[in-house]
Structure 1
């Protein structure tokens, strides 16, 4: 099945991620090349999103930076079943980390960026989650330190049905892999895996079966060519469909 249902909203089980479009640090030197090629080119990113949707990745996990929101809107116009989920910006630039921008494009889940959530400051996090909830969207939290932040979420009973976290076979970017696996498998959240290929270190044929062994509801994967999308989504569908 292409979607899971969360709070009566259809959430794609496979989405194309946008970290490569930003040239995120985990990609090294090639990340700078990708950023120059994609970050401000909405049409080029939209073409990949549309191809991903046609292959079975029915949405995008997007950050409101560069031309990425414009690209997501273009893809949604051309593919009626295309869904947007998003993460806030990491900086507070006068408008609540661009939550309003994600609401405007109908992001079904809005994750607080890891730079916010991993500070674990309730006085900041609770009002932001409330703002997302009052906008009619599903509040979520992204984390780069899941072994610490997931217990914080659970112990404080935060309004956070969805958690976006690094999760992969090698344990890269996860911290204490065994502890994170135990948290994921024992708690009732919609866990969305990111960095599941460990920035290209793990082949899709091995990456996705590992996710299928754990309580992972969905996955987002950054991809930068139609060939890569076709091959990667094909492997992901074997586990998530």
Structure 2
């Protein structure tokens, strides 16, 4: 299933890559993820390939070299040209942009570490890099309260990726955050929809797919079992039927 935006066909569901960098939001599991995935493109590719086999046609890429390499391997193995939403790495935006261009990134995001009112100049620098590469510009947010100030300064931003989940985890003021996202008028990609594994997938996905202003969701999984459970639920909620042994998304 897709949303149509700016002459693009954006998948409703994206593979998230936060588990593959052992993000701190995963608590004690972060060490296990670090051991299994960080710097290991083959292991990351195996999970991505399985998600593609389940019907997921897009990926939200944190632009580290081993993750980009894993995406390449998964596309080569499956024959699917994944829709890539890429996030620039703050320490080296130019190099990470080169990596993203190599996998045909369609939407580029400024990293959430930078998207604060105090870093507006740096946000602008990264947005210019994205625009100069003819990639649709957007921002990832850790703190949604910064959105108004950022959009006022850079109205060319077309895409916003932010935490959205039923429990308000990582959202600060949940109701205010939802209001800011909805009234922004931008293409909204929800992240942390499972609250870094704290929310049961059925409950989490029913909620996020009920929000009309959320156009796509990025969901990170760290095993085949997690992928099968999570994406099977997603397709069912979205009204798609299929055989678990093959593409369930109804998009083939």
* TM-score scaled by length of structure 1: 0.91
Give the aligned CA root-mean-square deviation in angstroms. 1.7
**Residue matched to 1:59:** 58
Aligned residues: 237
**Cα offset, 1:81, TM superposition:** 3.7
Q: Tell me if the contact between 1:20 and 1:224 (Cα under 8 Å) persists in the aligned partners.
A: yes
**Residue matched to 2:201:** 204
1:189 aligned onto 2:166: no
**Residue matched to 2:85:** 85
**Residue matched to 2:99:** 101
**Residue matched to 2:170:** 173
Q: Tell me if the contact between 1:49 and 1:59 (Cα under 8 Å) persists in the aligned partners.
A: no
**Residue matched to 2:14:** 15
Mark the CA change 1:240 to 1:191 in structure 2 (over 3 Å): closer, same or farther: farther
Mark the CA change 1:120 to 1:111 in structure 2 (over 3 Å): closer, same or farther: farther
**Residue matched to 1:74:** 73
**Using the alignment, how far apart are the partners of 1:68 and 1:157 within structure 2?**
29
Structure 1, unmatched stretches of 5+, are none
**Cα offset, 1:98, TM superposition:** 2.0
**Using the alignment, how far apart are the partners of 2:147 and 2:95 within structure 1?**
21
**Residue matched to 2:137:** 139
Q: Tell me if the contact between 2:115 and 2:150 (Cα under 8 Å) persists in the aligned partners.
A: no
**Cα offset, 1:157, TM superposition:** 4.4
Q: What SS does the corresponding residue of 2:64 show, helix, strand or coil?
A: coil
Task: Give runs of aligned pairs for residues 18-29 of structure 1, distance below 5 A.
Answer: 18-29=17-28
**Cα offset, 1:181, TM superposition:** 1.2
**Cα offset, 1:130, TM superposition:** 2.1
Q: Tell me if the contact between 2:124 and 2:154 (Cα under 8 Å) persists in the aligned partners.
A: no
Q: What SS does the corresponding residue of 1:219 show, helix, strand or coil?
A: strand
Q: What SS does the corresponding residue of 1:80 show, helix, strand or coil?
A: coil
**Residue matched to 2:232:** 234
* TM-score scaled by length of structure 2: 0.87
**Using the alignment, how far apart are the partners of 2:232 and 2:148 within structure 1?**
34
**Using the alignment, how far apart are the partners of 2:194 and 2:20 within structure 1?**
16
**Using the alignment, how far apart are the partners of 2:161 and 2:38 within structure 1?**
22
**Cα offset, 1:119, TM superposition:** 4.5
Structure 2, unmatched stretches of 5+, are 240-252
**Residue matched to 1:126:** 124
Mark the CA change 1:119 to 1:240 in structure 2 (over 3 Å): closer, same or farther: farther
